RNA sequence: GGGGCGGAUCGGACGGUCGCCGCCCGUCUUCGGACGGGGGGAGGAAAGUCCGAACACCGCAGAGCGUCGAGCCGGCUAACGGCCGGGAGCGGGUCGCCUUCGGGCGGCGUGCGACGACAAGUGCAACAGAGAAGAGACAGCCUGACCUGUUUUCCCUUCGGGGAAUUCGGGUGGCGAUGGUGAAACGGUGGGGUAAGAGCCCACCAGCGGAUGUGGCGACACGUCCGGCUAGGCAAACUCCUCGUGGUGCAAGACCAAAUAGGGAGAUGUUCGAGGGCUGCUCGUCCGAGUUCCGCCGCCGCCGCAAGGCGACGCGCGGGCGCAAUCUCCGGGUAGGUCGCUUGAGCCGCCGGGUAACCGUCGGCCUAGAUGAAUGACCGUCACCGUCGGCAACGGCGGUACAAAAUUCGGCUUACAGAUCCGUCCCUUCA
RNA sequence: UGGCGAGUCGUCCAAUGGUAGGACAUGCGCCUUUGGAGCGUAGAAUCGGGGUUCGACUCCCUGCUCGCCAG
């Protein structure tokens, strides 16, 4: 599937781009989620729905939701969350800054490969 | 060597890159944190939430009823509906004996089950069948008894008949052996008995009740004697008996506590001093923004011929004065945060006790604590399985389970690719 | 996390422990020029696995699926 496996590695070694993902980069409280749901704009894909709302912090924060409707198995839901988080973490430098994002996972993502999640997330966030 | 069953253990390995969540150490800090280093980070079921506990709060004088649950015996356990051992029962296997060829009895493995009481009471049993619980008479069997018809023979006769024996019937009646039905039909075999029969009587067997002996802690087993000859099934039907049971659950609960708006106490200090108390009145003094003042509306009472007046009332309406302002303290408490939160009925090992479950001495170890919720993603090599190509070495492709902590333990149940070990049984091969 | 409740033809509902029934839908036939309506007729189900019972949709145990409630 991926002919050149070494491509992500030189990107990661760039000194100015941090791929770290700390608590400051996440949405942590229910009212933060509710604010994004109520006032944010929606972007749709077959894999997930993204709610986005501008914040004054200058950095983009992420929250991920995988409901029981997505999959009954907690293992599968956890993997969905981690795939989305990984895709966001690796390519955050390419995304616009200063947004609060909430990603709602849909059922088809349970069978999707990581590369597909990466490209879909990048495609949606270009619309911001 | 292969397969079945039971038990135990494990649940891909190594390396690299980028990350995540706690802990420890060091440095810096604007006290928010940042950086560097070290070390740890899902399970046998973490799951389902079916039981049992710990712990916490609320309730509670004591006892009982009710509800719900448990239910052979003994042991283990903190406890249990769990586990271990045993008993009786049921099913199937195999061997032996008997056989009316349906099966029965005994021995040996083995499997299963929520296994108190239906001989306390109540209730239930479709269809079929004669009859389904102190039942029943369809077919059938009987002619000893009573009534009656009839065949034949004999006797008597007042010739109308009558009597006795006998044949075949009918009715009253007797019967529960035989037949068939059903899941289930009120013991079995043999003999006696009878008109025919029947535990009606007897013997033996099975089963039941009582007494008793031996063994066993006990469930129970093996006997002896007596009794009456049959007492059916279902309590995962109501019920009865014995035992247990207060409720809610870590989002339990404890602590800290912003902003805002309330509550309480006090201080400073400016102004209006209404109203009230002390008094007969004024002055004065004290309390001091209250049940304040004005108007309107509604309603009620009293007075009046009436217009109206007076008084009282209203979670009434409108307006005015005032209740100001500042500071300090106290209390409840929301957002938020901290604790509870992982050292525990803990794990590993040796030895000892016990048939076992399990227990004990000693020694060693510390092994996840998240909270919109960490334990991940990608790549490479190897291992295993399948498939394709190939004589082969090998190469390509695909796959490697079930499933992830959420207060913590002990069980149960359910899901699960594969690997290893032990025990046991069967088949095959070799010696 | 804790606590409740429900699963029956394709759909919506019935059924003391005793032959699983009705309506609509579907197929076929009749009727009609044709369709509809009507009439007749047929097929079709107890969530899975055990147990109790002579016999289970019903009673008991255990899984699965769906729904609801509290915070």
**DSSP assignment string, A59-109:** S-EEEEE--TTT-S-HHHHHHHHHHHHHHHHHTGGGSPSSEEEEEEE-GGG
Four-way CATH pick for A22-125: 3.30.230.10, 3.30.1490.190, 3.30.360.10, 3.40.50.300: 3.30.230.10
Residue A109 to residue A66: CA distance in whole angstroms: 10
Sign of the Cα torsion A55, A39, A95, A65 reads: positive
pTM, 2 dp: 0.71
pLDDT at A1: 29
Domain ranges of chain A: 22-125
Q: A12: which nucleotide lies closest, measuring CA to C1'?
A: B18
pLDDT at A4: 30
Assess whether A16 (CB) lies less than 7 A from strand B. Answer: no
DSSP string of A19-50, one letter each residue? ----GGGB--SHHHHHHHHHH-EEEE-SSEEE
The confidence band for A18, taking pLDDT boundaries of 50, 70 and 90, is low
Q: A65: which nucleotide lies closest, measuring CA to C1'?
A: B372
Please report how many Cα atoms fall inside a 13 Å half-sphere around the Cα of residue A83, on the Cβ side.
Answer: 25
pLDDT in tens, A25-79: 888 888 888 888 888 888 888 888 898 988 887 788 888 888 887 888 888 888 8
The arithmetic mean of pLDDT across residues A118-128, rounded, is 86
pLDDT at A34: 82
The confidence band for A91, taking pLDDT boundaries of 50, 70 and 90, is confident
Assess whether A102 (CB) lies less than 7 A from strand B. Answer: yes
Distance in Å from B327's C1' to A57's CA comes to: 38
């Amino acid at each position: 599937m991926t002919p050149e496996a070494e491509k992500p590695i030189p990107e990661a070694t760039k000194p100015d781009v941090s791929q770290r993902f700390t608590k400051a980069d996440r949405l942590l409280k229910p009212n933060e989620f509710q604010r994004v749901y109520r006032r944010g704009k929606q972007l749709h894909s077959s894999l997930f729905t993204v709610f986005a709302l501008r914040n004054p912090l200058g950095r983009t924060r992420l929250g991920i939701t995988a409901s029981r409707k997505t999959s009954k198995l907690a293992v599968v839901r956890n993997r969905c969350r981690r795939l989305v988080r990984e895709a966001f973490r690796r390519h955050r430098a390419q995304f616009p800054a200063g947004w609060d994002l909430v990603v709602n996972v849909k059922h088809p993502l349970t069978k999707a490969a990581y590369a597909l999640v990466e490209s879909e997330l990048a495609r949606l966030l270009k619309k911001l």
